[in-house]
């Protein structure tokens, strides 16, 4: 059975966009609709129109701002974002991305990474408990340690608004809406020790 996905590729080079689209469309197990975005000016309008499941974006696309801002402006908060890399990049700058692909990745590597993303795209309510992102786990740990949204934002170099959005996503994925419930989850899943928690 094939998985249907809409993928947007935001990359200024027509050769790279076209080549990536050709490879993606040949991957077994997927039915893909691919949308090309050639410039920053086209980004928001294209995302708002097509509402892609996955955005593959060159992190150096001129004029780009934060991924959170891109998702919010396009009203695509659940869209997965993948960094398209030509060379090694600063891991700190890539922390906001759900995945990264290189222009040197083989079709098999691309298929594997896309499969990993699909687990968290669309209808995955049953699996979502296992799919907290690394960032969500970091925020969950801060929450159960008694930190405020502002303190979490400062520690993780995020905006308070981003922290609030992550907290909403954590509550939705885990179906847990109280700090005490999140604390139990964090202890059971060995994310924190009892002595880390402010009682």
Any idea what DSSP says for residue 48?
Answer: H
**CA separation for the pair 52, 9 (Å, rounded):** 10
Same domain, 10 and 100: yes
Mean local confidence (pLDDT), 129-140: 80
Same domain, 97 and 139: no
Higher-confidence residue of 4 and 63: namely 4
Same domain, 13 and 76: yes
The 3-class SS string of 148-177 reads: CHHHHHHHHCCCHHHHHHHHHHHHHHHCCC
> Which pLDDT score is estimated for 64?
63
149 within domain boundaries: yes
Same domain, 74 and 56: yes
154 within domain boundaries: yes
Same domain, 54 and 77: yes
- pTM: predicted TM-score of the whole model, two decimal places: 0.60
> Which pLDDT score is estimated for 192?
84
Same domain, 109 and 144: no
Q: Name the domain boundary from 88, 118, 148.
A: 118
Sign of CA dihedral 150, 153, 155, 157: negative
Q: Name the domain boundary from 85, 118, 151.
A: 118
**CA separation for the pair 79, 52 (Å, rounded):** 7
> Which pLDDT score is estimated for 180?
85
Q: Name the domain boundary from 84, 118, 152.
A: 118
What is the chain's Cα-based Rg? 18
Same domain, 110 and 134: no
96 neighbors 157 (Cβ within 8 angstroms): no
Reported in sequence order, the residue ranges of the chain that DSSP labels E, i.e. its strands, are 3-10, 30-37, 54-57, 80-85, 99-102
123 within domain boundaries: no
Domain range for 31: 3-118
Same domain, 8 and 56: yes
CATH number of the domain where residue 114 is located = 3.40.50.2300
Same domain, 81 and 164: no
pLDDT tens readout for residues 28-87:
888 899 999 998 889 989 999 999 999 999 988 866 667 888 888 888 888 999 999 988
65 within domain boundaries: yes
Residue 177: C-alpha distances to residues 169, 171, 174, 181 (Å) = 11, 5, 8, 7
Same domain, 105 and 164: no
Residue 199: C-alpha distances to residues 115, 120, 137, 180, 183 (Å) = 41, 33, 20, 10, 11
Which tokens hold the place of 126? Answer: 């049953």
Domain count, the chain: 2
Q: Is the pLDDT of residue 120 over 70?
A: no
Mean local confidence (pLDDT), 108-134: 69
């Amino acid at each position: 059975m094939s998985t249907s996905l809409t993928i947007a590729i935001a990359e200024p080079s027509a050769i790279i966009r076209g080549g990536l689209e050709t490879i993606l469309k040949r991957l077994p197990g997927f039915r893909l609709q691919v949308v090309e975005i050639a410039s920053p000016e086209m980004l928001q309008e294209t995302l708002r129109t097509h509402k892609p499941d996955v955005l593959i974006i060159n992190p150096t696309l001129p004029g780009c701002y934060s991924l959170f801002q891109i998702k919010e402006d396009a009203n695509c908060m659940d869209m997965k974002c993948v960094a398209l890399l030509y060379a090694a990049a600063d891991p700190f700058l890539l922390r906001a991305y759900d995945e990264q692909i290189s222009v040197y990745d083989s079709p098999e590597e691309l298929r594997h990474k896309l499969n990993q993303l699909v687990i968290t795209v669309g209808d995955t309510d049953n699996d979502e408990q296992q799919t907290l992102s690394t960032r969500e786990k970091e925020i969950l740990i801060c929450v159960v340690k008694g930190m405020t949204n502002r303190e979490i934002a400062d520690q993780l170099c995020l905006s308070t608004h981003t922290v609030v959005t992550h907290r909403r996503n954590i509550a939705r994925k885990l179906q847990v809406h109280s700090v005490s419930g999140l604390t139990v989850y964090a202890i059971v899943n060995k994310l924190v020790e009892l002595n880390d928690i402010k009682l």
